[in-house]
Amino acid sequence: MATPEKDAAIAEIADKLRNSGAAVLTEYRGLTVTQLTELRSGMREHATYSVVKNTLTKRAAAEAGIEGLDEHLVGPTAIAFVTGDPVEAAKGLRDFAKANPALVIKAGVLDGKPLSPEEITKLADLESREVLLAKLAGAMKANLSKAVYLFAAPLSQTARVVDALRAKVEEQGGATPEAAAPAATEEAATEVEAAAETTTDVAEGGDES
């Protein structure tokens, strides 16, 4: 490959790494074209799955400031560049690998931090954001107003609550989200409620004027 073409390929991979919330390295040796097409199709909503050259990917990772991938860039490599929900992307790869053992999950990165295959499996075992939010609403039935504020809150605040719930579940060694929710979300939900009350006060003041 000519140098300009290599440079363009490196730049493209580096750009994908920068713009992806997560990336998962896999070895696809033994998979057929049909199986690869099936995998790409199944992950389309949450990630793009691309075959890459190891030498170019090493340079691209260095350019993007991503560490922890070089040692895994051996053999036929393809990367799932995650632009949607990392949990759902991890589930898709895990489930496909169970049905097609030729797919090997080698490593990954999440928000710039290296992930081992075991950590990717743990990520896949988490429930989706939608399921956690539904369980969170159930756990907060005693204080419905907070649930209302939560679902009306900006995405960034909602994500903070869900991430706190996930962390609490892990800390409690697999406790149910319903059990973990009150302790994990009280502070964040109160913050959301306060923000919503402030918004209401401003709106009411505007009506009076």
Q: Which CATH class is domain 3-125?
A: alpha beta
The pLDDT of residue 208 is 44
Report the alpha-carbon distance of residue 70 to residue 61 in Å, rounded. Answer: 8
Nearest 5°: phi and psi at 158?
A: -60, -45
Report the alpha-carbon distance of residue 4 to residue 11 in Å, rounded. Answer: 10
CA atoms within 13 A on the CB side of 113: 4
What is the pTM for the complete model shown?
0.62
The pLDDT of residue 117 is 92
The pLDDT of residue 163 is 61
Q: Do 169 and 175 meet the contact criterion of CB atoms below 8 Å apart?
A: yes
The pLDDT of residue 169 is 56
The pLDDT of residue 160 is 57
* Residue 173, Ramachandran bin (φ over 0: left; ψ between -120 and 50: alpha; else beta): left
The pLDDT of residue 147 is 55
Nearest 5°: phi and psi at 128?
A: -65, 165
pLDDT along the chain (209 residues), means of 10: 83 93 94 94 92 95 90 94 91 94 94 89 77 60 54 55 59 52 52 49 45
Strand duo 22-27 + 77-82: pairing = antiparallel
The pLDDT of residue 158 is 53
* Residue 195, Ramachandran bin (φ over 0: left; ψ between -120 and 50: alpha; else beta): alpha
The pLDDT of residue 196 is 47
Question: Scanning the structure block, which residue is given the tokens 């579940």?
Answer: 169
Report the alpha-carbon distance of residue 67 to residue 115 in Å, rounded. Answer: 10
DSSP assignment, residue 200?
Answer: H
Report the alpha-carbon distance of residue 185 to residue 207 in Å, rounded. Answer: 33
Provide the residue ranges of all domains of the chain, joining segments of one domain with +. Answer: 3-125, 129-208
What 3-state class would DSSP assign to 20?
coil
User: Using N-to-C axis directions, what is the helix angle for 117-125 and 86-99, rounded to 10°?
Assistant: 110
The pLDDT of residue 13 is 95
